[in-house]
Amino acid sequence: MPEVKMSVKLISKPENILKTVYTACRTCYSALLPQEIFEAADDEEKMLSLISRVISSGHYSTIEHIQLSFAISNVSRACTHQLVRHRHMSFSQKSQRYVKEKGDFDYIIPTEIASNPALKEKFEKHMHHTALIYEDLINNGIKAEDARAVLPNAASSSLVASLNLRELIHLANLRLCTRAQLEIRTLIKKMCDEVIKEEPWLKEHLVPKCERLGYCDEDKSCGRMPQK
């Protein structure tokens, strides 16, 4: 059964993330040269305190110096379509033109459907039927770039996605909100967890927007925070 499980790995990050962000912040307010600030930076508490103040006052250019790359696999096309709406990210995604599906293609079953056996069975039958039509199109000489038109939003995809820390915080603020769809929320949570594993100090910044604002600005609130 070609249902697959999401996988997210942080594959590239700069060294000295904390010291780099601190140096960027401190440079704005110091007579010292950036190189001198970087070399002297050794007090983690002092660095974190300045960074926290600078980020909460909205001085976001200081966190744009940190570039991160993720290897992401087994996410639906519905999910990647939402992800690629973020314009300060870079993407390299498995092509449905160059990579032909063979037999039953991999797909993602949304959790609510997967947890209902009767609906899950209907869903899987539909995927199988779709795979047969796709195969028939390919066998009749239709190029993959056109045959893919029958593939569903559920079709599994993989990509490398890169972004800077400012965009990751923005992504977390928007997509960790319970108003975001569960699959993309899960994806962004996994991306944030990968970063927090390496840089625990970022935990307080990689949060839904209500935690940053102290209130919920959505029309329909989950009730976790008071509404504005």
Ligand X SMILES: Cc1cc2nc3c(=O)[nH]c(=O)nc-3n(C[C@H](O)[C@H](O)[C@H](O)COP(=O)(O)OP(=O)(O)OC[C@H]3O[C@@H](n4cnc5c(N)ncnc54)[C@H](O)[C@@H]3O)c2cc1C
175 noted as active-site residue: yes
List, in sequence order, the alpha helices (H) in the chain. 17-27, 34-40, 44-56, 77-83, 111-114, 117-139, 144-147, 165-175, 182-198, 209-213
Q: Residues 163-202 vs ligand X: string with x where CB under 6 A? A: ----x--x---xx---xx----------------------
DSSP category for residue 179: T
224 binding ligand X? (CB under 6 A)? no
Cβ-proximal residues to 114 (8 Å cutoff; 6+ apart), any chain: 3, 120
Q: Taking contact as CB under 6 A, which single stretch among the options 3-11, 43-51, 86-94, 219-227 is the one that binds ligand X?
A: 86-94
The residue (of 65 and 179) whose beta carbon lies closer to ligand X is: 179
What is the closest distance, in whole angstroms, from the C-beta atom of residue 164 to ligand X in the complex? 11
C-beta closer to ligand X: residue 21 or 177: 177
| Residue 86 contacts ligand X per CB under 6 A | yes
User: What residue type is 76 in one-letter code?
Assistant: S
Shortest Å distance, C-beta 163 to ligand X: 8
Rg of the chain (C-alpha set): 22
Are 145 and 42 within 8 A, CB to CB? Answer: no
Please state the closest distance from residue 216 (CB atom) to ligand X, in A.
12
Query: What is the rounded CA–CA span in Å between residue 191 and residue 193?
Result: 5
- What's phi and psi for 38, nearest 5 deg? -60, -45
Q: Which of residues 103-142 bind ligand X (CB under 6 A)?
A: none
Residue in 87, 117, 139, 223 binding ligand X, rule: CB under 6 A: 87
- Is residue 85 a contact point for ligand X (CB under 6 A)? yes
Taking a C-beta distance cutoff of 8 angstroms, is the pair 19, 199 a contact? no
| Catalytic residue list | 175
Residues in contact with ligand X by CB under 6 A are: 85-88, 167, 170, 174-175, 179-180
